[in-house]
Structure 1
């Protein structure tokens, strides 16, 4: 409780860079400058990389405190960090698999916002199925690596300083994958932003045309890429409960909009009440998991991921009912939420994958035919 109160006071008094807003887990190109400054402020006051151990410059905060911080940032309308990828994914991976030189080179720069990272995992033919990654890394006689391939849906690639890359260095399947650090301004790296239907361009295509990486840019050992990839999954789920803040705000917005457009009838009111109940159930389930010390990368957090994604989608769809024909007007504040709502059931692990995990690992049902 004391930690949450300290966080609230800090967020009320901390200087905010011009243009800072809660842009979510990844900044758009225009958010990066403010995001870097905000990350530096968080680091200065001990609120950066809360889950990092003290030996790597973090406060080693409890899971409950991490979750409270995420929720209070959502209430204050600010991001909890520059980006999810560096602090939540790359940092812990380097602590576990990286060499001392890699840790010394990268961790402090992640913590204080000097370096922004992106995640070079998904490909046109390997989105949800990372074991099918086809980007090729070939070891050269001098120990360096030559990489060729294409990545897609890479958040913040157009602004990132570095990327964590999953590439095929051996045969088919998970055992043939390796992980690398890629300086995003290396010769042969081309980034093409993808314009989304909500008007933003957070996603990018990345082309790797014979990019040369040094032997010291391998994370772990060659062939350990699948272990590295698995270690990056699940960390973002600590902040799932913070999504409830934005969902409650969305429900209030759509109720107000429906009343203003004369569309708040009994049927829509019942749907709004149901959505409100679902958000409270999601938040309570999240709090219970945090109190029980559940591992965020474990199977049980798939319940929360599935519940959060589909509740977000359904609330977004209610915006259509609330606005009616006015939903065609792009300046409507609910339209953006409506456009991105269905993406929540895809990013971070599709709902289909979450259901498979729940069926096989929690309910013990037979594995689906491969």
Structure 2
């Protein structure tokens, strides 16, 4: 499976992109050295708990090299420190990063979710305050959206924020499934600031520092995989330092952020999927399962679908806004990844259900990569917006079907 662009001719832009690719490869080969050996190929979905210290140091290494925030403005006065990069060069970087199996990004949420949101909806002062720390790989962020009873139906959120006597916002409530909250320095939180408003109105997008031990309690959630990437976060009068987009405009900001979530990074995700598919092919070849016509047909279909997802992602990058594109992308990769996890175990037969023998009471089992793939991918059609919600978005915003009564 090849992941190059496959251009038919080399014009000036192509030559520039080729030079950029060579620069990226050289930098990665030089800097992904023995300091980060333990983190190579680790820290992705299902293993975000691994090698935290090395990955945090790697984030700062990327910042020093100017590889964070490639799509941001490059005004030197802003002090972001990022490189100039076209959209295709951002794709090139994502491909090269995935090719060398560089560590899973600790700063993904800050770089790819919060930063574009600040650039679209934040004030210049907010941009100058928060973007440099993300660009240096120093400030890590988490996302405070989902709540018990308000996951897919996010408009039902109950976390609230009120003004104290000094005019500061004080946040109280509970968030759940908060990735890397136990490591994050900051959290962007959706909270209801107008208790009289209904549903999507009266919600604000708040920036909350996590270092408030008397007001914020982070509790890890143990999953089927035995790991704890996700957390519950309890806010009890936590101070919010900024409101993005204006008071009561949080829903608009939040929906804008979700559109940014399906950007260039999805191409790197697909390259990771390709590596997982190749691993399944190797297993099927080694144990003879490849001789089964049904297995071969499923592998070919998964390969073809992955190629389709890639071209669909490239088609939507940089074009006119498409209200349904993010939802289509999420529907495609969520179901695809689940089917890959199922096939990964099917080709191994009964052996797929066997774990290691060196278990202990405090560590009852340890999964291999394909077992973890199967278990973790069960959530792919739920987190980041469930399939039901994605289909509703397509129905209402693309097909123009009547909206659900509220």
Equivalent position of 1:322 in the other structure: 347
Superimposed CA distance per residue, residues 31-89 of structure 1 (whole angstroms, 9 cap, x where no aligned partner): 33222322222222221111111134233533222222112211110147432211112
Aligned-residue offset at 1:165: 1.0
Cα distance change on mapping 1:148 and 1:355 into 2, 3 Å: same
Output aligned runs, 1:184-223, within 5 Å. 184-186=210-212, 187-213=214-240, 216-223=241-248
Residue pair 1:135, 1:150 contacting (<8 A) in 2 also: yes
Given candidates 258, 262, 269, the residue that maps to 1:233 is 258
Cα distance change on mapping 1:180 and 1:366 into 2, 3 Å: closer
Equivalent position of 2:371 in the other structure: 335
Equivalent position of 2:202 in the other structure: 176
Cα distance change on mapping 1:334 and 1:27 into 2, 3 Å: closer
- Superposition TM-score, scaled by structure 2 size: 0.83
Equivalent position of 2:23 in the other structure: 6
Aligned-residue offset at 1:151: 0.4
Structure 1 distance, partners of 2:215, 2:86, is 42
Aligned-residue offset at 1:301: 3.2
Q: Is structure 2 residue 249 aligned with structure 1 residue 224?
A: yes
Equivalent position of 1:147 in the other structure: 171
Q: Is structure 2 residue 289 aligned with structure 1 residue 270?
A: no
Q: Is structure 2 residue 396 aligned with structure 1 residue 360?
A: yes
Residue pair 2:46, 2:227 contacting (<8 A) in 1 also: no
Structure 2 distance, partners of 1:93, 1:12, is 32
Output aligned runs, 1:120-139, within 5 Å. 120-139=144-163
Given candidates 55, 58, 64, the residue that maps to 1:38 is 58
Q: Is structure 2 residue 259 aligned with structure 1 residue 242?
A: no
Residue pair 2:60, 2:137 contacting (<8 A) in 1 also: yes
Residue pair 2:208, 2:242 contacting (<8 A) in 1 also: yes
Structure 2 distance, partners of 1:167, 1:27, is 29
Equivalent position of 2:137 in the other structure: 113
Residue pair 2:61, 2:137 contacting (<8 A) in 1 also: no
Residue pair 1:168, 1:176 contacting (<8 A) in 2 also: yes
Aligned-residue offset at 1:110: 1.1
Alignment size in residue pairs:
366
- Superposition TM-score, scaled by structure 1 size: 0.90
Cα distance change on mapping 1:74 and 1:298 into 2, 3 Å: farther
4+ long deviations beyond 6 Å: none
Structure 2 distance, partners of 1:332, 1:81, is 21
Equivalent position of 2:40 in the other structure: 21
Residue pair 2:55, 2:104 contacting (<8 A) in 1 also: no
Residue pair 1:26, 1:155 contacting (<8 A) in 2 also: no
Cα distance change on mapping 1:219 and 1:358 into 2, 3 Å: closer
Cα distance change on mapping 1:47 and 1:219 into 2, 3 Å: same
Structure 2 distance, partners of 1:99, 1:30, is 36
DSSP-derived class of the 2:201 partner: helix
Structure 1 distance, partners of 2:321, 2:262, is 6
Residue pair 1:234, 1:296 contacting (<8 A) in 2 also: no
DSSP-derived class of the 1:54 partner: coil
Residue pair 1:126, 1:132 contacting (<8 A) in 2 also: yes
Cα RMSD (Å): 2.4
Which stretch has the larger CA shift, 188-197 or 66-75?
66-75
Structure 1 distance, partners of 2:322, 2:103, is 22
Aligned-residue offset at 1:99: 4.2
Aligned-residue offset at 1:27: 7.9
